[in-house]
Chain A
Amino acid sequence: MMKTILKAKLPEMLEQLAKEYKVLVPAKLEGVSRFAAYRENLELALDENVTMPPKDIFFPQTEEMYKFAAKDQSLEIEEIPQDEKLQVIFGVRSCDMKSIDCLDQVFLTKGFSDPFYQDKRDRSILIALSCVKPMESCFCTSMGIDPQKGQGADIQAYDLGEKLAFEGITERGQEVLNKVSGMFAEEDAAIPPMGEFNLTANVEGVPEKLKNMFDHSIWDDISRKCLNCSACAYVCPTCHCFDIASEVRGEDGVKIRCWDCCMFDEYTVMAGGHQPRPGKKERVRNRFLHKLRYFPERYNMLLCTGCGRCVVKCPVNLDITNVIKKIKEA
């Protein structure tokens, strides 16, 4: 038996939850779809995955870390209090659920836990949403992901066409469902089968093969058309590199961290001018080795979830599935 609700009734349910939690939903905003705080008349984006992944909920593009004031020889440092409200994030697809697992590995393991990330992560209750029809750029199954079951979800929602079904997974998730239990019908519901995928990638053996491909000529070939912009990294649900910078006004300032990208010259150039990754080839190679070899070596999982956003958004169609194919054929 599953808890079901008509899709038409979803806004009502979200409205109800918004009284208690901060509720984030996939929404169609001007020019782009992304997660946004639920409000009345917000156009929900439920047909396809959103353009911008949910990573900025936990890891905003720009985040204030602490304030400071410096005058003559003196210095004051002041931490910035974090929001404390629990947030419910509705409609996270399986690929993006997996990306949160990748981000958790980076920000919460290997000796140090990142307090800024952890705080937002701990306050989040995740409602995963199953897919029915893959977009033409989707290849999550190639990355070992089940598009109908979000890893690490507190609640799994299933798209049944006219209706949505909900299944509480964790205690926290169950609690959220209990708040709106009156709105559900209890019924047996069959989850519709998943449609055919247009795009695939065979990653079997790729991390291992890449161990001996650092000096391979394919990197010259692959990197040539790259423009070294960061469209791929900034729409990627797993790319997590950041810069720490200061915003200074006179004697006051705030330390911020912002998304950064390994395609930029400034990313690795050192104070004396030494640049360990001077050109397109070195940067593109680092990007793909990070996704397909370094991250698996360090965290035992790929840093790609097959969401296909970079395939769609790259201005020169530098397609990671094609890169994987070239690696396999090399």
Chain B
Amino acid sequence: MAVNVEDVKKINPLVPIKAKVTRIVQETPDVKTFHISTMDDQKPFDPMPGQLGMLSLPLVGEGMFSITNKGENHIEMALKEVGQLTKALHEIEVGQEVGIRGPYGNGFPIDYCKGKDLLIIGGGIGLAPVRSLIMHCIKNRDDFGKLTVVYGARSKSDLCFQEDLFENWTKVPNMDVFVTIDREEEGWDGHVGFVPAYVEELAPKPQVTVLCGPPIMIKFTLPSLQKMNFSDQDIITTLEMRMKCGIGKCGRCNIGSCYVCLDGPVFTMEQLKDLPPEY
């Protein structure tokens, strides 16, 4: 039985359950996606798009990651190799038993987005958290309006989820995918340039924009969005802070009086304006 956010409150939310890695996809040289199921081949829990999970290799440590997708019997997490834990996770093979706990956080405002045209902007590994939203919209295609994805990375090999970008998502009705890389390179005949400029060039007319990527991308994309006359409520992003507990107790992921693990990681621009710029 997969647990949802209400169930996790009834069990000890700080103790992981045992799970196993059933599939590993090498997305880019330093990003891998892990498919995780319980020992009896169930979803470890039932996350909403945008929620987080705490994945552990107990001998090394545990870390909070966004859940990029859920299947019938598994959840997916895409991890970039940046530190000790992600390095160890990049070395494991299918069949590895791991600890997992969650789901944590608020997730994307699905109900608010229903029936609306969505623009989803991602940069680098920043496509990981929004992928769960894209997958949700595709599975429930009729609930949402036009879907536009603008995604960029440093180079072709740094593009995550290439099978989605170039195959799966191109076949989805009423969905456009625009991909760009920072610099020209051999074998790439697609768009070249930074995400913010590309968004301005494409001038899409969505009702809600979701963006996720490195702070520099967010910083330069916001003015473009403001030019497009979005209200702050219709600009949505996700934040990252160091996390340990996942349930708003341990303290470290606070931004002002909000805890990113509990009140986030998804925030609207309207909410961010009330928070100190300390992330």
Contacts and interface: CB of A to CB of B under 8 A. Distances in A.
Determine whether A and B are in direct contact in the complex, meaning some CB atoms lie less than 8 angstroms apart.
yes
B14 A260 contact: no
Interface stretch (A42-50, A243-251, A309-317): A243-251
Task: Give the bracket for the number of chain A residues in contact with chain B.
Answer: 35 or more
A241 B9 contact: no
Given A111-B248, A246-B61, A253-B59, A73 B97 contact: yes
B236 to A, nearest CB: 21
A294 B253 CA distance: 13
B58 interface: yes
B265 to A, nearest CB: 13
A277 interface: yes
Interface in A272-322: 272, 276-277, 282, 286, 289-290, 293-295, 297-298
Contacts of B206: none
Interface residues of B, number: 45
A255 B257 contact: no
Given A79-B12, A271-B83, A295-B257, A110 B248 contact: yes
Interface hub of B16, B62, B92, B252 (most chain A Cβ within 10 A):
B252
Contacts of B15: 65-66, 77, 79
Contacts of B95: 73
Nearest to B86: A271
A270 B18 contact: no
Nearest to B98: A75
B217 interface: no
Contact of A270 (B60, B92, B241): B241
A110 B245 CA distance: 14
Given A70-B58, A255-B58, A268 B242 contact: yes
A40 interface: no
Nearest to A240: B251
A242 interface: yes
A182 B256 CA distance: 53
Contact of B249 (A73, A106, A245, A298): A106
Interface hub of B58, B83, B244, B262 (most chain A Cβ within 10 A):
B58
Interface string B238-279: 001110110111111010110000100000000000001011
B17 interface: yes
A68 interface: yes
Given A76-B18, A276-B278, A241 B248 contact: no
Contacts of A269: 242
B202 interface: no
Contact of B12 (A115, A244, A270): A115
A113 interface: yes
B257 A242 contact: no
A77 B17 contact: yes
A114 B14 contact: yes
B279 A244 contact: no
A111 B9 contact: yes
Contacts of A293: 257
Given A268-B242, A271-B86, A75 B18 contact: yes
B237 to A, nearest CB: 16
Contact of B58 (A68, A268, A290, A297): A68
A257 B249 CA distance: 12
A293 B95 CA distance: 48
A77 B9 contact: no
B252 A297 contact: no
B99 A68 contact: yes
B98 A112 contact: no
B241 A294 contact: no
A110 B98 contact: no
A248 B251 CA distance: 25
B249 A115 contact: no
B138 interface: no
B58 A253 contact: yes
Interface hub of B93, B99, B254 (most chain A Cβ within 10 A):
B254
15 contacts: A75-B97, A77-B16, A77-B58, A106-B249, A111-B9, A111-B262, A114-B13, A244-B250, A262-B251, A270-B240, A271-B63, A271-B85, A276-B278, A286-B278, A290-B254
Interface of B: 9, 12-18, 57-63, 82-86, 92-93, 95-99, 240-242, 244-245, 247-252, 254, 256-257, 262, 276, 278-279
CB-CB nearest 5 A-B residue pairs: A271-B83, A241-B251, A75-B97, A294-B257, A112-B247
